[in-house]
Amino acid sequence: MELWNITDLEGNAKPALSNCTVDTSYRFTFYQVSYGIIFLLGLATNGLALRRLCASACAMNSTAVYMASLSFADMFFVISLPMRIYYYHQKARAWTRTGDLAGWTPGAAFCQITFILKYISLYGGIFFLVCIAVDRYFAVVHPLAPALRRQRVALAVSAGIWCVVLGLSVSLPLLRLAASRQNQPCLLNPSSLRHRTFILVSLGLVLGSFLLPTLVLVYSYCKVLSVLRKSRKRCLRQRRSRRQTLKIIYWVLGVYLLCFLPYHVNLLGYTLTHVKLLPHCGLVRLTKTVHPVVLSLASFNCCLNPLIYYFSSSLVHREAAGGGGNSIQ
């Protein structure tokens, strides 16, 4: 189930797109396999990360608080994957038997739950990765402001972000339900003005919730890297801390850009072609073909996030033992 399921173009296409078809029936099997792998890996990696973080809850610093919140957000998506696998299994059976996806239609409650859990993971993953970036920014660039990195401040920030994430995650599916047809609660028809309006408003919210945090993340890490380049000639302990911080930066940037950038770029083209604002046949074929791949790649983010904790656990524990101060400067 994509961020918003849209009925195919063919039935309502302009003449220029009437013959613009692409076979994406592979997505049923592809989603079942990819989500099955993500479910097993995500359950194992996030479960272990949460276990280790909770075991040292008394000594958690701000970085560990954000990492724990990130793992909880990922868990919301992981527990929704069996429902998604079931959804695509049923769709595959309907397609095999009748050649028509309308052969099985999930109920409104099914759609609401799966979409809410998807939004929680998407927004939570983005926002808490940015929190880790900002946390590193204050640790390295402003080491004389330790109050901003206290555990209670991190808990308050995390609580605020959870309120925003849950608000977005609940409101968008409710708007979708209000816009959708009663007999097809999981599908939106881009030929309908009401559905098109919902799709474009949702697209703006999703892209805004990606672009603004991306600017904050890139700015924070550029400032951190600028400071770290000036601190190469330090003692052994400080060089070790510097390497740990660089490891966090490169891993967060890699995970963030690899998982989220292709998805959001393709989502823009995929949506605009479906609402016929960009009636370009080549773009229709490209975005529809790669959409299952980039969506699965974005979903794989929940398996990669726990490695941020594993790669930086020694720095997290060292800062916690030192009272949350900066160990690099």
Domain membership flag for residue 20: no
pLDDT for 161 beyond 90 = yes
pLDDT for 327 beyond 50 = no
What one-character-per-residue DSSP string does 200-220 give?
Answer: HHHHHHHHHHHHHHHHHHHHH
Over residues 304-321, the pLDDT tens digits come to: 888 877 766 666 555 555
Tell me 9's DSSP state.
S
Q: Count Cα atoms within 13 angstroms, Cβ side, for 302.
A: 35
Dig out the tokens for 15 from the structure.
Answer: 């003449």
Mean pLDDT of 145-155: 82
SS3 20: coil
Model confidence pTM above 0.85: no
Domain membership flag for residue 257: yes
Over residues 33-72, the pLDDT tens digits come to: 999 999 999 999 998 888 887 777 666 778 888 988 998 9
SS3 181: strand
Q: What is the pLDDT at residue 249?
A: 84
Residue-number span of the structural domain to which 58 is assigned = 26-321
Confidence of residue 325 (pLDDT cuts 50, 70, 90): very low
Q: Return the exposure string of 217-244: e unless at least 16 CB atoms fall within 10 Å of the residue's CB, then b.
A: beebbeebeebbeeeeeeeeebebbbeb
Single-letter residue type at 28: F
Dig out the tokens for 188 from the structure.
Answer: 């939106």
Over residues 131-144, the pLDDT tens digits come to: 988 988 888 888 87
Q: Return the exposure string of 171-184: e unless at least 16 CB atoms fall within 10 Å of the residue's CB, then b.
A: ebbeebbebbeeeb
Domain membership flag for residue 15: no
Domain membership flag for residue 156: yes
* Sign, CA torsion 19/27/109/71: negative
Mean pLDDT of 155-163: 93
CATH number of the domain that residue 102 is part of: 1.20.1070.10
Q: What is the pLDDT at residue 168?
A: 81
Domain membership flag for residue 328: no
SS3 184: strand
pLDDT for 179 beyond 70 = no
* Alpha-carbon span 212 to 73, nearest angstrom: 19
> Of the segments 32-46, 146-160, 196-210, 272-286, which one has the largest average pLDDT value?
32-46
Q: Count Cα atoms within 13 angstroms, Cβ side, for 301.
A: 32
Domain count of the chain? 1
Domain membership flag for residue 220: yes
Single-letter residue type at 180: S
pLDDT above 90 coverage of the chain, percent: 20
Domain membership flag for residue 7: no
Mean pLDDT of the chain: 79
Confidence of residue 101 (pLDDT cuts 50, 70, 90): low
pLDDT above 70 coverage of the chain, percent: 76
Confidence of residue 234 (pLDDT cuts 50, 70, 90): low
* Alpha-carbon span 256 to 144, nearest angstrom: 28
* Alpha-carbon span 260 to 221, nearest angstrom: 17
Domain membership flag for residue 17: no
Per mean pLDDT, which range of 18-22, 101-105, 262-266 is the poorest?
101-105
pLDDT for 204 beyond 80 = yes
pLDDT for 283 beyond 90 = no
Dig out the tokens for 261 from the structure.
Answer: 């950038």
